């Protein structure tokens, strides 16, 4: 007799009703290895989950889901920096709160990003002018095949915009178990975005930046504990200089941010908003009224509702601006991750 399927509704922030055959809460690397070996023996798909804050389950999952609960925070210091090590299962925002309480600055711009520490390098998370790559020293990775742990330097992680080696060469058969941060004691505030620009650089504290970031995020973003969502659904697109010049000649007010590689980053939320899509709804899924970059589970949405809404948003923005948005959210099918752009195209 087969075992009853396990509900995943409370294990991902979209809170869509879906199931898996088995769920394991891993408190050690050994727990992860045991679950992975069972998947190998039974020919089942394996999925590691943190807090499920960047996941859309398209359907029931046919295998074993391992929820990463590897804990622990340690702090060492030298003359120049604080060196913080955090287990991959630690809550990201709680880590930032802890470091500030210890008088350690540098993570404050990344406050209130949902998820676990182990998820941060995969996406190279970023907000308000700071990305994970700016503060990451190393990432410890468990090779599921050999059981060995390898330490990757920040350079070896090949960080890009919402990208890293963990989305490519190390996507399968490898698990992040801890992350190291290098936070200089000579603190340099980053105040280039939003309300942070209003703060006084001469007197500003990391706590003030943290408080301001929390206020901005809470004013724009729905609380997933109340309204199911995965935060920013789409990446902010990066276009070439010629395309940007053309777009800005038509829309001079469009927010745009020059990138180091000569590209220009646009604000996906602004593009969606210009198409009049705030509040737009398909089935139980809707574009959030306060922040067009967020798609929400407004009322018992199905995965198909979210996909259909994402498709419509992508089409409308593409037809108007000739800019084609790509999901930041990972799409998970019955046997593992799917190509999100293909799904919504």
- CA-nearest of 113, 94, 11, 8 to 52 is 11
Residue 322's alpha-carbon distances to 121, 181, 183, 309, 313, in angstroms, are 30, 39, 40, 19, 13
- The two tokens of residue 244 are 């940007």
CB-neighbour burial class of residue 261 (10 A; exposed 0-12, middle 13-18, buried 19+): exposed
Report helix, strand or coil for 54: coil
Point out the catalytic residue in the list 162, 217, 316, 330. 162
Closest CA to 126 of 220, 222, 219, 231: 231
For residue 72, give both structure tokens.
């622990």
Contacts of 239 (CB under 8 A, 6+ apart): 247, 263, 264, 266, 323
Q: What are the CA-CA distances from residue 103 to residues 94, 191, 206 (Å)?
A: 14, 19, 9
> Would you call 232 a catalytic residue per the annotation?
yes
- Single out the catalytic residue among 21, 108, 232, 330: 232
Q: Is 53 tagged catalytic?
A: no
Q: What's the CA gap between 202 and 190, in Å, rounded?
A: 12
69 belongs to the catalytic site: no
User: Contact, 104 vs 212, CB < 8 A?
Assistant: no
Provide the CA 14 distance to its chain's centre, in angstroms: 13
CA end-to-end span of the chain: 40
Strand boundaries in 216-293, DSSP class E: 228-232, 238-239, 256-258, 264-266, 281-282, 285-287
Annotated catalytic residue: which of 131, 212, 328, 330?
328
**Neighbour-count burial for 6-36, b at 16+ CB within 10 Å, e otherwise:** eebeebbbbbbebbbbbbbebeebebbbebb
Active centre residues (catalytic): 162, 232, 328
């Amino acid at each position: 007799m087969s075992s009853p399927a396990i509900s995943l509704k409370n294990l991902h922030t979209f809170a869509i009703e879906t199931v898996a055959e088995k769920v394991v809460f891993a408190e050690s690397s050994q727990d992860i290895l045991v679950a992975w070996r069972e998947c190998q023996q039974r020919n089942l798909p394996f999925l590691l989950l943190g807090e499920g804050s960047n996941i859309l389950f398209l359907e029931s999952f046919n295998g074993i889901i391992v929820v990463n609960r590897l804990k622990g925070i340690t702090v060492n210091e030298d003359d120049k920096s604080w060196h913080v090590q955090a287990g991959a299962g630690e809550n990201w925002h709680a880590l930032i709160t802890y470091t500030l309480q210890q008088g350690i600055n540098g993570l404050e711009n990344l406050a209130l990003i949902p998820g676990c520490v182990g998820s941060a390098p995969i996406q190279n998370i970023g907000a308000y002018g700071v990305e994970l790559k700016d503060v990451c020293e190393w990432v410890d990775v468990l090779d599921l095949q050999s059981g060995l742990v390898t330490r990757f330097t920040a350079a070896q992680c090949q960080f890009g915009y919402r990208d890293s080696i963990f989305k490519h060469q190390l996507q399968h058969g490898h698990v992040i178990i801890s992350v190291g941060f290098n936070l200089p004691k000579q603190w340099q505030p980053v105040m280039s975005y939003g309300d942070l620009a209003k703060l006084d650089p001469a007197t500003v504290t990391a706590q003030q930046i943290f408080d301001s970031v929390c206020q901005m995020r809470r004013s724009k973003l729905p609380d997933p504990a109340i309204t199911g969502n995965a935060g920013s659904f789409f990446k902010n697109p990066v276009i070439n200089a010629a395309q940007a010049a053309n777009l800005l000649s038509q829309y001079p007010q469009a927010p745009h941010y020059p990138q180091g590689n000569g590209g220009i980053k646009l604000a996906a939320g602004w593009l969606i908003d210009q198409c009049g899509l705030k509040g737009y709804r398909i089935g139980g899924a809707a574009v959030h009224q306060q922040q067009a970059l967020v798609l929400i589970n407004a009322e018992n949405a199905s995965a198909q509702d979210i996909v259909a809404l994402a498709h419509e948003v992508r089409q409308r923005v593409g037809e108007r601006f000739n800019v084609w948005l790509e999901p930041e959210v990972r799409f998970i099918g019955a046997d593992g991750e799917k190509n999100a752009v293909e799904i919504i195209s």
